[in-house]
Amino acid sequence: MLRKTKIIATVSSLNCSSKFIARLYNAGINVVRLNTAHMTHDDALKVIENTRQVSDKIGILLDTKGPEIRTCDNNEPLSVKYGDTIRIKGAPGEKSKGKVICVSYKDFVKDVPVGSSIMIDDGTIALAVMDKDDKYLMCHVENDGVINSRKSINIPSVHVKLPALSKKDIGFIEFAADNDLDFIAHSFVRNKDDVLAVQKILNKKKSFIKIIAKIENSRGVENLSEILDHAYGVMIARGDLAVEIPTEQIPLIQKQIIRTCIEKRKPVIVATQMLHSMIQSPRPTRAEVSDVANACLDHADALMLSGETASGKYPEVAVRTMAKIAQEVEDKTSSYMNVPYTLENKITAYLAKSAVKASLRLNTKAIVADSLTGESIRALAAYRGDNPIYGQIYDQRVMRQLSLSFGVFAEYIPMDITSQDSLNKSICLLLNDKQFKEDDLIIVLAGSFGINQGTSYIEISTADNFKKKCI
């Protein structure tokens, strides 16, 4: 059976040859991620060009830094022990020296009150703010460790007044539009305004890139509903989220976000440290296997690999391992979900649900549907049926964007005389390519009144009957 859960792999410019990306593609990736926190435009362009040489079906996702705070550069890392006192200064552009840590947000001292906790590098180092003056926060070190340059900083329960977009973010969003990428994953989204700030730039560039909101702070969780009204999908970025929110709450928050996204027909990605040990080891831990399997049991659209493929020793093995775990879960469990209608087009909503229900009751082998915008395809995917959904798509960009949707296998079909002619030809090619048995039942979801009118009928018959229409 085809694997329905999609896989995103982070690719670094340091290891991005077309041969390497082809190996990842053959191992099971569907989307390539660019982490702009560690890239220049030239670095990103190298990955984009090599990815497009491999396949026109691979989606490309550009990840912005977003409104984040990081430690500044230093000449050497600072080793700290429990009980030490260090000072923190808001000084972007300066270097950390001795016991003074400079951070990238100039109003850091002003915004952070005494009594706050400061977490560095996803919580690896914890500090307690004991005192402050106009220039420094005086902090008590809570555990032994090393503070390196350019590491993330979180202040749980403190809302700092960072702008939605940095100058670097704006440059990369414009770069993404100029290079016709598929997705922008915007980091640290707090509310709808952060999404709209990105959309404003895309609108100016007349770009159709879709925005993925990264949920990695408490405000993002609280404002999920309004964020989903404006974003194409969501990434659950559990690294920073687990620092900002008590760790024990993360599993249930993950399940809640996934369910909400599915109900709203929004692709949802689970990310961060999924197979983290495979950066150094050819085998995952049992806990990591369970983590990946649990995300599949929750019916997430996609899972993401970060350091495992960007800098790890076993990138292909990591992808294959994730693919095998997802396949095992899908083969042994039923994935159907009874979610409510949400589409404005009630006919499409009703027919999509009817098609998936019919596939379960009649033991069909596939659902075939055509689409210009992808809306009817995502409506089918929301029910998480057992059949693969073969999307016959009239727009190449939409075809790539469906690389994030659960159970969807999209093909681009040029518009023929009519959409029906195009679909019939596409079904004929599909039947020949997928080698269905003559008595296999197939469902076709399509429309008779032009692609702009949406779906209007379901047709169910054997592969043999559909083949006869091809003659």
C-alpha dihedral sign at 357, 358, 364, 370:
negative
Do 237 and 210 touch, CB atoms closer than 8 A? Answer: no
Q: Which residues pair with 146 in a beta bridge?
A: 79
User: Measuring CA to CA, which residue among 362, 325, 41, 71 is closest to residue 181?
Assistant: 41
Q: Which amino acid is at 133?
A: D
CA distance 96 to 79: 13
CB neighbour list of residue 338: distance below 8 Å, 6 or more residues apart: 383
Q: Which residues of 216-231 are buried (b: 16+ CB within 10 A; e: fewer)?
A: bbbbbbebbeebbebb
Is 214 labeled as catalytic in the residue annotation? yes
Q: Which of 132, 192, 214, 264 is catalytic?
A: 214
CA distance 155 to 150: 16
Do 298 and 331 touch, CB atoms closer than 8 A? Answer: no
Is 89 labeled as catalytic in the residue annotation? no
Is 3 labeled as catalytic in the residue annotation? no
Q: Which two tokens stand for residue 240?
A: 């920073």
Q: Which of 3, 33, 192, 400 is catalytic?
A: 33
Is 33 labeled as catalytic in the residue annotation? yes
CA triple 469-377-289, angle to 5 deg: 120
Do 216 and 240 touch, CB atoms closer than 8 A? Answer: yes
Type and span of the H or E element at 444: strand 441-446
Q: Which residue has the tokens 């915007």?
A: 186
Q: Which two tokens stand for residue 371?
A: 């689409």
Q: Which of 5, 36, 51, 272 is catalytic?
A: 272
CA distance 196 to 180: 19
Q: Which amino acid is at 230?
A: H
Q: Which residues of 76-107 are buried (b: 16+ CB within 10 A; e: fewer)?
A: eebebeeeeebbbbbbeeeebeeebbbbbbee
String of DSSP letters for 337-362: --PPP--S-HHHHHHHHHHHHHHHHH
Active site residues: 33, 70, 214, 272
